A = this chain, B = another copy of it.
Amino acid sequence: MYQRVSFSNIDLFGDFWEKRQDINREVTIYSIRDRFEDTGRFQAFDMIPPEQGGVKPHIFWDSDIAKWIESVAYIIEKHPDSELESKVESVIDKIEAHQGADGYFNLYFTSVEPMNRFTNRDAHELYCAGHLIEAAIAWAKATGRERFLHLMQKYVDYIEKVFVEEESAAFATPGHEEIELALYKLYQYTGERRYFNLALHFINKRGTVAAENSRYNQSHCPVREQKTAEGHSVRACYLYAAMADLAAESGDAELRSACEQLFDNIYRKRCYITGGVGSSCQGEAFTVDYDLPNAGAYAETCAAIALAFFAGRMQRITPNPAYADIIERVMYNGMLSGVSLNGKEFFYENPLEIIHACRHRNVSVHDAEHYPDARRQEIFGCSCCPPNVTRFISSIADYQYTYDENTVFVHQYMSGVANFDINGAAVKISQKTNYPISGDIDIVAKNMKGKILAVRIPFWSKKYSLYLDGGKSDKEIKDGYIYIAVKNDMMSLTLHLDMKPRVMYSDPRNAADAAKISLCRGPLVYCMEGCDNTYPLRSIRLVLPLEAEEFYNQALDCIQISAKAIVCEPPKGEEELYYSNPTVKAITSEWIPYYAFANREECDMLVWCAYNQ
């Protein structure tokens, strides 16, 4: 089993991610707080029943605030902020004040339906509990204060009593998974095995209770028999993440095999090129293999994050390069599209195409056809994604390194310094890079003599060059990584990855993308936006071999790509819907990174493009 180098041990600076962490810390965390304040989410912790003038909480409001607290904890670890800190403490005060004597805590089921505690499997109680536990652990780590943690431990005692000892709840397993991975974190933090056992209890019980048989929440069969990703995609990936935690820790071969098959199914058949998953709005769910509609995509921001959780935990089992690949896709595309460049607005769903005309059908009845929002919003009724984005970005360095006593893996390239111990020895790894604008990466490893440094060569970098202590190396890639035996106390390494714009094809069975290509540059998926292009995006056909030029777009702070393309039009003067004598016109198509779309005017957008070779 490998360990992850915690983001707590890494300082990021001078790079793509430092900018995003700055916005996250200076804008996003406050903006979410304000919107949660506006909507009564903080006020709900006063637990005044609605009939006495209190706010009526939604069943998942606990989790919204918990994820926000978790993110505050991650932020203040490195950037103390008394305003945020005291806000969190005031929430903890209220939790302490209103927690049941038995340890139970839930906004909705305390203030609205106290008689119905643990009677409705779909009511998110254990899900909320899981997020509160994660927040409490993060808060203890960040502040050293364990008041919140102890409150949540008391709640866990109660949950254990109800679900294991007494089996007195109306259901046996969580309707929305989350608490399983929280319990594993609690085990990691406290070292108390009973938390591990409670997580394992929920995992083992799932899919074995006839009354709870539901593909929607992964209860259609025991988890070890699940081979394809099914149902609600956030629930699914939270479950798989917990399964991976337990498999990594316990060496449970069956659990590991299920995790590997589930990951493989997602990676090879049910995942957007952006790292988005859960292609259907119907049940916010995985559907069938190769069913990845673009304009109608669901691809919830939380689901992409949950997939990164899953992949990150799988990296603790084995350094399959697919895990780092998926994490990279999510980081730079399917998660990052979830937040606007100004840090204030969020997508819940992340379509890979927007056709405005179809969005505005003027049908007078039954207009129930689903298209995702074309604009980000500051808050949603179900606002799970914004606090998930902020906690993910503030802890993103978690995905950079894993290690065991012999080897340190470099999975992701971000400027910064990591300081961590391997069996008591202080290791320091520095990275300097302008990735993903540039593919040049300088790494300095200290105190690793006698160990292996494994650096990832992303699958998309067809050419690369590696220099070790200034000398060119011809070491070969083995399963996605170059393994370097470190011979000195200090080793310097320079890596040049191939950032030339490239096109990606999709499996012919993927109907939405077959006979199309996607333009990418490094880890970034690109897209065309209507405001940059004169012709309807669907009519543009990229010309292969690709003829592309790059330039810096200051407004969006990114590399824009101009690529040669053609369009067919009816002959001038004719306005025929169908015609046989096209005028073929050479044009230049303009592409920006997918994550940057919808930050200007409302317009069409397209990732997968027709082409001519």
* Given known A515-B539, A612-B612, contact A288–B362 (CB-CB < 8 A): yes
Query: Contacts A514-B539, A577-B269 hold; do A283 and B505 have CB atoms under 8 A apart?
Result: no
A569 interfacial by beta-carbon distance below 8 Å? yes
Q: At the interface with chain B, which of A5-13, A365-373, A475-483, A550-558?
A: A365-373
Q: A368-B282, A505-B568, A539-B508 are in contact. Are A288 and B361 (CB under 8 A)?
A: yes
Tell me the complex Cα distance, A285–B567, Å: 30
- Give the residues in chain B near A539, CB-CB below 8 Å: 508-509, 514-515
CA distance A449 to B363 in the complex (A): 53
Chain A 347-387: CB-based contact to B (< 8 A → 1; otherwise 0): 00000000101101111111111100000000000000000
B541 touching A511, Cβ below 8 Å: no
Task: Tell me the chain A residues, 496-542 only, with Cβ under 8 Å from chain B.
Answer: 502-512, 514-516, 518, 535-536, 538-541
**Cβ contact within 8 Å between A360 and B288:** yes
Mark each residue of chain A from 370 to 410: 1 if its CB lies under 8 Å from any CB of chain B, else 0.
10000000000000000000000000000000000000000
Residues in B neighbouring A518, C-beta threshold 8 A = 578
Of A168-176, A289-297, A420-428, the stretch lying at the interface with chain B is: A289-297
Q: How far is the CA of A290 from the CA of B359 in the complex (A)?
A: 12
Whether the pair B502, A514 counts as a contact (CB closer than 8 A) is no
* A255 within 8 A of partner (CB): no
A363 to chain B, nearest CB (A): 5
Within 8 A of B (CB), among A196-212: none
Whether the Cβ atoms of A273 and B507 lie closer than 8 Å is no
Q: How far is the CA of A540 from the CA of B283 in the complex (A)?
A: 32
Give the residue of B365, B541, B575 whose beta carbon is less than 8 angstroms from that of A216. B365
Bound-complex Cα distance A541 to B268 (A): 23
Partner of A502, one of B362, B462, B580: B580
> In the complex the two chains form, is B505's CB within 8 Å of A582's CB?
yes
- Partner of A357 from the list B289, B368, B505, B610 (CB cut-off 8 Å) is B289
A69, chain B: closest CB distance, angstroms: 31
Query: Which residues of B lie under 8 Å from residue A106 when comparing CB positions?
Result: none
Contact A355 B511 (CB under 8 A): yes
Copies in the complex: 2
**For residue A511, which residues in chain B have a CB less than 8 angstroms away from its CB?**
355, 357-358, 536, 538
Decide if B365 touches A580 in the complex (CB within 8 Å).
Answer: no
Count A interface residues, CB 8 Å.
72
Contact among B291, B504, B535 with A508 in the assembled complex (CB-CB below 8 Å):
B535
> Which of B363, B506, B540 lies in contact with A515, CB distance below 8 A?
B540
CA distance A208 to B340 in the complex (A): 47
- Grouping DSSP codes into helix (H, G, I), strand (E, B) and loop, the A interface class, with mixed when no group exceeds half, is loop
Contacting A460 at CB < 8 Å: which of B282, B290, B503, B580? Answer: B580
Partner of A291, one of B267, B358, B507, B612: B358
Known: A505-B578, A515-B539, A580-B460. A357 touches B290 (CB 8 A): yes
Q: Is B215 a contact of A364 with CB atoms below 8 Å?
A: yes
How many whole Å from A103's CB to the nearest CB in chain B?
32
| Residue among B285, B510, B515, B580 making CB contact with A541, cutoff 8 Å | B515
Q: Residue A570 at the B interface, CB < 8 A?
A: yes
Least CB distance from A494 to B in Å reads 25
Q: Does A343 contact B (CB under 8 A)?
A: no
Min CB gap A554→B, angstroms: 30
* Contact A365-B282, Cβ < 8 Å, known A289-B357, A293-B358, A575-B268: yes
Chain B residues with Cβ below 8 Å from A509 are: 357, 536, 539
Alpha-carbon distance A285/B361, docked complex (angstroms): 10
- Closest chain-B Cβ to A437's Cβ sits at a distance in Å of 21
Q: How far is the CB of A521 from chain B (nearest CB, A)?
A: 12
Determine whether A28 belongs to the interface, using a CB cutoff of 8 Å to chain B.
no
Q: Are B269 and A361 closer than 8 Å at their CB atoms?
A: no
Q: Is A280 positioned at the interface, with any CB of B under 8 Å from its CB?
A: yes
**Bound-state Cα–Cα, A503 to B362, Å:** 32
* Chain B residue with Cβ nearest A280: B363
Q: A128 → chain B, closest Cβ, in Å?
A: 21
A510 to B539 CA separation, bound complex (whole angstroms): 8
Is the Cβ of A283 less than 8 Å from the Cβ of B578? no
Nearest-neighbour CB distance to chain B for A235, whole angstroms, equals 12
Is the CB–CB distance between A215 and B362 below 8 Å? yes
Interface residue? A576 (CB, 8 A): yes
Q: For the complex, give the distance between the alpha carbons of A580 and B502 in Å.
A: 8
Q: Does A271 interact with chain B (Cβ within 8 Å)?
A: yes
Any chain B CB within 8 A of the CB of A434? no
Q: Which A residues have a C-beta under 8 Å from some C-beta of B?
A: 214-216, 230-231, 267-269, 271, 273, 280, 282-283, 285, 287-291, 293, 355, 357-358, 360-370, 460, 462, 502-512, 514-516, 518, 535-536, 538-541, 567-570, 575-580, 582, 584, 610, 612-613
Q: Which 5 A-B pairs have the closest CB atoms?
A: A508-B539, A515-B610, A514-B539, A514-B538, A287-B361
If A216-B364, A514-B538 are given as contacts, then 5 extra A-B residue pairs at C-beta distance below 8 Å, sorted by A number, are A282-B369, A355-B511, A507-B579, A509-B536, A512-B538
Question: Can you list 29 contacts pairing A with B, beta carbon distance less than 8 Å?
Answer: A216-B364, A267-B577, A268-B576, A273-B578, A280-B369, A282-B367, A285-B364, A287-B361, A287-B363, A288-B357, A288-B360, A289-B357, A355-B511, A357-B511, A502-B580, A504-B578, A504-B579, A505-B568, A505-B580, A505-B582, A506-B577, A507-B575, A507-B577, A509-B536, A509-B539, A514-B536, A518-B578, A584-B613, A612-B613
